[in-house]
Structure 1
């Protein structure tokens, strides 16, 4: 609705326009440059540089998409005969959000939405409508067949409706959106509003209106160019600076686009800009307006416009069908059809396989198409709408070998053998070698976080991320994806150096990181925060060493038995380095002796003393014995420890203690669609990676605070489900009835956390503290990161495990080797 408090911006615009027009007159510009009519003023350059501080969009995506592209000999080959569309998009709060072109992290757009004016009101689509989302292409059971979406946004007061169909063009680097406006009262005027963030920043953009095209680029000579065009002409259009002279500010006083700025700069000066275009007014109630909108990308204006126009000319039906798959294009339906195990896996879900199909699509969509096999963590920037976009940031659109492993194993679980093989081969790019720029020390470990092109971003040493490539290689070899000859070559080239680092560690010097690693003590555990002896890290280290020993035997490596010997030694040391017998949380016997349990991490390998964890995410470090973390379940998953182990069972009992104070409590309960209670788990007690419980501010929105709180992570429901399956197998209690209970509890539990677009989040609201500006409901995904690839991967693996009645990530060779 009208917002009178924003009228102050009108005076800023008017003053700036007067100044601008005076300058134009003094410089003897032609009358056309300052053409004024009774309804609007046409001015060449918009005032208000650089605009307000740019941010990214809301991170709780309800949809993501890109075109499916088949490999050619393990690569993406972009040729005239086989064009590769390198465009990815996301949807949140009912509108198109970050849209990437080129590399998967290279955002070009923050947001595209509509502004709607009518009698006595001006609405923004994002803030004034109720949004629903569904898949355009589904099978008879409602399972999605492609990442094409129908979004319907209805005005909260019932005055209009906007329907949008969104997907990309497989033949070009462009996105298509079919838009239908329906007015339910007379006098509704739609306006398109585009906020570019070209080449992964929102502070250096230039916007211009060029005929019937909206164009954005940066001041850099190598800038990407984005063009927006529709097949219905604009009535008027304007470029401006966000919050100062953009279309939202212009429209809010009288519902009219009074100023038609042609560009935001004639001196190559960038800022936070927006483009606004007015469409014909829907004069009568029940009038409608439909048009196709295309966003095209290129390395210059000519190629960007040509791409945009070509997609418009191709038309909605042809582009949508190519996206799905037709006689000339392998599309998403063809990819799904290639995943043969899905047919059996569907029967082990509680939603007829809807989330399973969506997960398959989402996982494949989050792979770069320049660097084949580069699997990212999430197509989002955590808490993006409170994070500055002045400087480029990959957010979660980057490679972590740990998340990478989870995804590769999920591809294998659903029958895709190509992607995990290509992904495994990609890993060599992110392994530290002597020639790694700026590195000195012991090579063989894998970088903490990199861009998809291998550019180094974070440089902490995480031993699980060095073990997991070995584990993945072993799994691919056992599955027949890698031959004996291939795995032998990879062992010598990549896996043996990694195994050697797991054995001896060594000195590391790269960027800020100048340290010595002494395994199994890790510089960072899987949450990238603490140093010491970690159960989850050590589980991977042991599994990695055993896998290396097995592959090494094939390769006739004389050192191979040493890896197995060390694995057995580390297993024997688990309880002395990571299990406390002087715990502060467990029950005690009649002599006051505490039941033993796994700590989250022991800084110095002495879990019975008062060592504190380091302060992190605003939280002061507590005594190591106070912090519970379900990571010890990885010991069971990989075959290091039996599910019936009494220390494991004691630790599980503590994780399940819902009587702990909220800061230390890990387990929470949620209501599934059948009305039953399903479990959710936080990462660990005293977790500060989340919203402030008092102010409701996003994580670190105004700096870290002690009241920040990490919420429930849905993939832990899957990890627990894997443990309970292993326990039932160990107890010999797995029957059709008990299996059904496991599926209803853990598979359905994960399905409970999916949003309407079937996206699974990193974190879900646990109901503790201020529900934030978004008024989160219990179990709803937060603004941290959705979809999280790891969560989707864990769901796929859990369903496969239930189907096979065997934990998918289990390593029989680990169990066998450690038993010797």
Structure 2
């Protein structure tokens, strides 16, 4: 039957109003797949069925799920709930999944064997599902479209095929076998699952449902065949894509996809310490590639999932581009010899940079901001990517120099503090953020004109030298307990909130706070990773001991690590999904960070790789978090296995791939020769800069002192209790700040500098004092 491509009247409309509030699928995924052709469809699988399908970009989920059910004379089988299946693919780097469902142990009905092969069409915005059913059953499909998911106002109808639309987003579901008992329903009232539950088979024949949360159902009247999904801006277009994909058939799609993925995977030289670890590394590279958009090449989303998605209708999820996650994925791709992919990522950074030089906290693949928070490391990371491409000999992407200069000016103007740390929760000075910023200032200085280059290098040296005064503590109860001199903390709050003496708000723990001096994390691991500290540095080794004591969690998968002590981003202890508060669980990627520390210290990182691998889903996906409490079958939570957090997490796959390659190369992928060479030996900074956010109470000998502000000012200064008080006007520096620099010869003749500042709005109202030629007690 050829559709009319017109919306049908309401005479056979499904009851139920708008339906239940919409949610997404569980983030407990099995697999992700996409083609490498011009088509723009991305597919996720979970519990043996299709979960979210994205079109026309990785930032736009259009389908909640598509499940299969068996109808027999003695009852029906709910396969998505049985969850007893095997998963396979042609090769680790050829992500074309085949799912085989068979009865679980103790099943009392007739036996069945259902094979589903999921094949994205490489040429069309279409998806094929080849099925073969053995057993005394008929096959039913039920799908829940969430088209244009900003609002749950989908309309579904039956007209020679199954259709749904919202605005200019249309889905068509058809097959090369007859679709019978087709119906459009409202979720929770008149959908196909409710029909099966009530009658044991499909009986309803509603021709239209919605607007609201809708579903489509039909019976496939054959034991084998192919289902097609087409996506377009019109009903006719979606039908055309689906039917033409069926006409060419699943074999053609399989051949083309297999060839394209095989060709893409040919260049990487991924070492294989064993088949399982090597296979996961090859698949991890493919996962990174699958998360790149084709409507907007170079956009790599953090995850094709929504954490705890089956309990929320949140649009954003993790299918957004975070500059940090994307850059770390690019480093992994470079390590795997996929330079073209990394170059596209850099090109998109050039296109999406904000006018002042920074990038927003995250954005859609199109570049439109979603969350607009400011994280300094996310401005510095693209500079490191540009420097890495230069270091490996890749031709420069047009616009790189301008991008780097704008980014470094922003870093220099606003650092070393950041409104948010890498966990997107707290302001202050963070070892991870400062490490990335320092490395960017050094590695990116090659693109700066001479005056700015010298200023950037002096600033990098200062931040690197002063980092310990900002983020390293000694003499704490925790240090005494573990017998170490001190350790790097997760972050120091802003000076106005007490710095290292202040409290840190735990964002997901209902207002709880913890002393900054007692809060630890693996954030310090990027100090040796980027070459700012030696792996054998006692401060690094002592902090590693502290982290192993405070954050390490032994699970059936192996030793894993929490983000920081007191973390609340995770399920509650009783298994309830994260709802704004909870308890943070171990992150496999942090075992990768711990493994990098081991590698650089001359230890064997293989156990950490094996631990990460044991956290993977049946299809090889790595989760954001792993459950570490007692088994809670009612919530699907098993110790050492993925929790309800995001899966797959691109960052985790990138960290695993980089560590495995580093096992062979002997050094981290992020380590740049220019940075490593500069800080191979201690390098005293020639200049310290006094900022409101990072003042200094004492200035060591041999440093000039620069007083600065983002706006013009007059410096009123005197020496040794305001002797010789006078004024000096600030002048602009290369980064757009206003500064007064006091030279060595002037500072050397005094013991204390006294100063205050007058702005256009008046005096700042505070007198400052800096002890000269001493040490900084802060």
Same fold? TM cut 0.5: yes
Q: Which residue pairs with 1:775 in the alignment?
A: 636
Please state how far the C-alpha of 1:607 moved relative to its aligned partner.
8.3
- In the alignment, the residues of structure 1 paired with residue 333 and residue 498 of structure 2 have an alpha-carbon distance, to the nearest angstrom, of 38
SS of 2:205's partner is strand
Please state how far the C-alpha of 1:161 moved relative to its aligned partner.
2.8
Q: Which residue pairs with 1:527 in the alignment?
A: 423
Deviates more, 1:359-368 or 1:125-134: 125-134
Q: Does residue 311 of structure 2 align to residue 377 of structure 1?
A: no
Q: Which residue pairs with 2:589 in the alignment?
A: 715
Are 1:43 and 1:259, in contact at CA under 8 Å, matched by a contact in 2? no
Please state how far the C-alpha of 1:357 moved relative to its aligned partner.
1.3
SS of 1:152's partner is strand
Superposed, 1:19-34 pairs within 5 Å as: none
SS of 2:678's partner is helix
Q: Does residue 263 of structure 2 align to residue 357 of structure 1?
A: no
- Equivalent of 1:448, from 356, 361, 364? 361
- Equivalent of 1:582, from 442, 464, 475? 475
Change in 2 beyond 3 A, CA 1:638/1:627: same
- Equivalent of 1:692, from 572, 586, 592? 572
- In the alignment, the residues of structure 2 paired with residue 535 and residue 402 of structure 1 have an alpha-carbon distance, to the nearest angstrom, of 15
Q: Which residue pairs with 2:404 in the alignment?
A: 495
Q: Does residue 180 of structure 2 align to residue 226 of structure 1?
A: no
Structure 2: segments with no counterpart, 5+ residues: 1-7, 684-778
Please state how far the C-alpha of 1:769 moved relative to its aligned partner.
5.6
CA RMSD of aligned residues (A): 2.1
- In the alignment, the residues of structure 1 paired with residue 54 and residue 243 of structure 2 have an alpha-carbon distance, to the nearest angstrom, of 19
Q: Which residue pairs with 1:642 in the alignment?
A: 534
SS of 2:102's partner is strand
Are 1:693 and 1:770, in contact at CA under 8 Å, matched by a contact in 2? no
- In the alignment, the residues of structure 1 paired with residue 83 and residue 440 of structure 2 have an alpha-carbon distance, to the nearest angstrom, of 51
Q: Which residue pairs with 2:102 in the alignment?
A: 154
Please state how far the C-alpha of 1:618 moved relative to its aligned partner.
2.7
Are 1:581 and 1:608, in contact at CA under 8 Å, matched by a contact in 2? no
Q: Does residue 597 of structure 2 align to residue 652 of structure 1?
A: no
Q: Does residue 429 of structure 2 align to residue 538 of structure 1?
A: no
Please state how far the C-alpha of 1:532 moved relative to its aligned partner.
0.5
Please state how far the C-alpha of 1:405 moved relative to its aligned partner.
0.8
Superimposed CA distance per residue, residues 621-661 of structure 1 (whole angstroms, 9 cap, x where no aligned partner): 2111222101101101000011111111111111111xxxx
Are 2:506 and 2:566, in contact at CA under 8 Å, matched by a contact in 1? no
Superposed, 1:284-363 pairs within 5 Å as: 289-325=223-259, 331-339=260-268, 341-342=269-270, 345-346=271-272, 348-349=273-274, 351=276, 353-363=278-288
Superposed, 1:177-256 pairs within 5 Å as: 177-183=129-135, 186=136, 188-201=137-150, 203-211=152-160, 213-218=161-166, 220=167, 223-256=168-201
Structure 1: segments with no counterpart, 5+ residues: 1-32, 35-41, 70-83, 139-143, 281-287, 326-330, 434-442, 506-518, 658-664, 673-677, 729-737
Please state how far the C-alpha of 1:615 moved relative to its aligned partner.
3.6
Q: Does residue 483 of structure 2 align to residue 604 of structure 1?
A: no
- In the alignment, the residues of structure 2 paired with residue 229 and residue 279 of structure 1 have an alpha-carbon distance, to the nearest angstrom, of 10
- In the alignment, the residues of structure 2 paired with residue 749 and residue 129 of structure 1 have an alpha-carbon distance, to the nearest angstrom, of 25
SS of 2:410's partner is helix
Give aligned pairs, total.
Answer: 668
Q: Does residue 455 of structure 2 align to residue 562 of structure 1?
A: yes
Change in 2 beyond 3 A, CA 1:238/1:430: same
Change in 2 beyond 3 A, CA 1:394/1:775: closer
Change in 2 beyond 3 A, CA 1:168/1:546: same
SS of 1:229's partner is strand
SS of 2:223's partner is strand
- In the alignment, the residues of structure 1 paired with residue 456 and residue 316 of structure 2 have an alpha-carbon distance, to the nearest angstrom, of 36
Superimposed CA distance per residue, residues 320-372 of structure 1 (whole angstroms, 9 cap, x where no aligned partner): 111112xxxxx111101132x22xx12x3562621011111111110111111
Q: Which residue pairs with 1:439 in the alignment?
A: none
TM-score, normalised with respect to structure 2? 0.83
Q: Does residue 625 of structure 2 align to residue 763 of structure 1?
A: yes
Q: Which residue pairs with 1:57 in the alignment?
A: 25
Please state how far the C-alpha of 1:749 moved relative to its aligned partner.
2.0
Change in 2 beyond 3 A, CA 1:201/1:277: farther
Are 1:54 and 1:202, in contact at CA under 8 Å, matched by a contact in 2? no
- In the alignment, the residues of structure 1 paired with residue 284 and residue 674 of structure 2 have an alpha-carbon distance, to the nearest angstrom, of 29
- In the alignment, the residues of structure 2 paired with residue 748 and residue 251 of structure 1 have an alpha-carbon distance, to the nearest angstrom, of 44
Change in 2 beyond 3 A, CA 1:471/1:154: same
Please state how far the C-alpha of 1:298 moved relative to its aligned partner.
1.2
- Equivalent of 1:622, from 492, 509, 514? 514
- Equivalent of 1:275, from 196, 216, 220? 216
- In the alignment, the residues of structure 1 paired with residue 657 and residue 201 of structure 2 have an alpha-carbon distance, to the nearest angstrom, of 50
Change in 2 beyond 3 A, CA 1:109/1:588: closer
Q: Which residue pairs with 1:416 in the alignment?
A: 338
Q: Which residue pairs with 1:264 in the alignment?
A: 209
Superimposed CA distance per residue, residues 229-266 of structure 1 (whole angstroms, 9 cap, x where no aligned partner): 1111023211110110111112222213232111115x
